[in-house]
Amino acid sequence: MAQALELPCIDLSSPDRISTAESIRQACLDYGFFYLVNHGIEDEMLKQVFDESRKFFSMPLQKKMRLARSKEHRGYTALYSETLDPSIQSKGDLKESFYIGPMEGGNLNQWPSEGVLPHWRATMESYHEKILAVGKRLLSLIALALNLDESFFEQVGAPMGWVRLLHYPGELAVSDTGTYGASAHSDYGMITLLATDGVQGLQICREKDKVPRVWEDVPHANGAFIVNIGDMLERWTNCLFRSTLHRVIATGQERYSVAFFLDPNSDCMVECLESCCSEACPPKFPPIRSGDYLQERLRLTYALKG
């Protein structure tokens, strides 16, 4: 295994918002990753989500495929259906997942039958609501960290959330076969909040362009979310905040995690923030519509696997 990393820890309940924002800024400059504690989501809620996730993934493949990922990217994706780093492997990543998208604006989500999993939908809807509120609180601090009004992202992007349940079967030993639970990638959107079951496997590479890459383990921290910056926020900040490369290696142990992706609404224009550019550091990227950017990234991810 790689060397263990000591990431910064951000207390979401701290009354000193300015100091907290400064800590977030430093974490985003140095790592692009940090732990988030005292976020307000109870351990019992997380336990219910993991329990229901295990129940779904333990069902026969035929039943899970009845809820196969739709064109709106809701539902089930099977093992090897996603390739996050096609440059190193063509078989696909050794994980299965289930996407639950935004609740507002009409429900396009797919749900298991209540006759089979009676508490599943209620649990996931409750978690989605709670983690979305946590994500928005965190975004207001990130806005302060960028010298913006704390409501900036809410005003320009009306952020939307996606829950993704993940299961790594543990069928392979340590990743020496070229197959990973999740091959090297950076997330596409603004921020990701990750809950894990304690099984190791997550690694980050702080220097994307360094050869060879140096990977560091991200230890599980009880009661904490692991937060990372996505490519869209890196683009928005003119690469001030880093979107850090990460992966999940196969360790021979079964692993569950729950990711929450927070993105702007589809019509939001993402263009360099005034606080992140200057005459000496002009914008590196042209403005782009959030929905167009995310759709293209998803298209490339699933292009090889359907």
Q: What is the pTM of this model?
A: 0.93
SS3 of 143, please? Answer: helix
What is the band of 216 on the pLDDT scale with cuts at 50, 70, 90? very high
* 95-109, 113-127, 274-288: which is most confident: 113-127
Q: Which helix (H) or strand (E) holds 161?
A: strand 160-168
245-248 β-sheet, strand order: 3-4, 216-217, 202-205, 245-248, 182-185
Report the chain's mean pLDDT, rounded to a whole number: 90
Q: Which fold has domain 3-302?
A: Jelly Rolls (2.60.120)
pLDDT in tens, 35-58: 999 999 999 999 999 999 999 999
What is the band of 305 on the pLDDT scale with cuts at 50, 70, 90? very low
Q: Span 86-109, mean pLDDT?
A: 82
pLDDT in tens, 150-186: 999 999 988 999 999 999 997 765 545 556 788 888 9
| 111 vs 176 pLDDT, higher one | 111
What's the pLDDT at 304? 47
Instruction: Give rounded-to-5 percent helix, strand, coil for the chain.
Output: 30, 20, 50
- 21 Cβ neighbours under 8 A, 6+ residues apart: 141, 142, 144, 145
Q: Which residues of 157-181 are buried (b: 16+ CB within 10 A; e: fewer)?
A: bebbbbbbbbbbebebeebeeebbb
| CA–CA distances in Å: residue 250 to residues 96, 165, 166, 244 | 13, 17, 14, 20
Tokens of 215: 């990977």
